[in-house]
Amino acid sequence: AQSVTQPDIHITVSEGASLELRCNYSYGATPYLFWYVQSPGQGLQLLLKYFSGDTLVQGIKGFEAEFKRSQSSFNLRKPSVHWSDAAEYFCAVGAASGTYKYIFGTGTRLKVLA
Amino acid sequence: KAGVTQTPRYLIKTRGQQVTLSCSPISGHRSVSWYQQTPGQGLQFLFEYFSETQRNKGNFPGRFSGRQFSNSRSEMNVSTLELGDSALYLCASSLTGFNQPQHFGDGTRLSIL
């Protein structure tokens, strides 16, 4: 069955500290992987995407993610967190096949301490 | 380029009523998807339309329906509203489908009294 797991519901980090948000997936087709961010009262904004090629992808706002096929993971990282990064982060998986859906993880809410 | 526009932003309805939500995708985007977001269930896929045809469907009852027009604009309808339908309904568009990033609107917040 298709699934996306974000094991951490809440994460709290201090401003300036590094960040890693975990994402594991189970998907029958070749996955297209995405990370989105959602600020309160708003829709989701795409941070980065992985389709193929280099397994380390760079996104907006200083975020990066690494695709590890052997671990079925696509973890999001940022070397130094800013207070404005406080939001909810969603990992998502899609596929080109019409029989597959776009699946989101349950989200990780990030709190940043000043 | 204008983003995805959802109207209205807020709606208050009572049980048993029906509601129609509207979504205007980014110009040129032919795939429109709808999602329900609640604190308990997270983001759940409702359905996807492409070229006026429903191409994918999530696990929601038949009270939830949608359609897409020739200009790619989409509407979602919920009939016989229940308290549990209270949620943020998000629309997303992409050029052709699920192998691409989804561009989201800010959603319609539906509250059922």
Q: Indicate yes or no: CB of B55 within 8 angstroms of CB of A106.
A: no
CB-based contact A71:A8 (threshold 8 Å): no
What pLDDT band is residue A30 in, cutting at 50, 70 and 90?
confident
Residues B43-88: tens digit of each pLDDT:
999 999 999 999 888 889 999 999 999 999 999 999 999 999 999 9
Question: Which pLDDT belongs to residue B70?
Answer: 95
Q: Indicate yes or no: CB of A101 within 8 angstroms of CB of B106.
A: no
Nearest CA in chain A to B47: A101
Q: Indicate yes or no: CB of B45 within 8 angstroms of CB of A102.
A: yes
CB-based contact A103:A92 (threshold 8 Å): yes
> Residue B51 phi/psi, 5° resolution?
50, 50
Alpha-carbon distances of B74 from B23, B30, B54, rounded to whole Å: 5, 10, 11
Give the minimum alpha-carbon distance from A79 to chain B in angstroms, rounded to a whole number. Answer: 24
Lowest mean pLDDT among A62-66, B55-59, B108-112: B55-59
Pick from A3, A44, A45, A100 the residue to mutate for testing the B interface (most B CBs within 10 Å): A44
% of residues, chain B, pLDDT over 90: 81
A98 Cβ under 8 Å from any chain B Cβ: yes
For residue A51, which of A37, A65, A71, A70 has the smallest C-alpha distance?
Answer: A65
Alpha-carbon distances of A10 from A13, A59, B71, rounded to whole Å: 10, 22, 41
B87 Cβ under 8 Å from any chain A Cβ: no
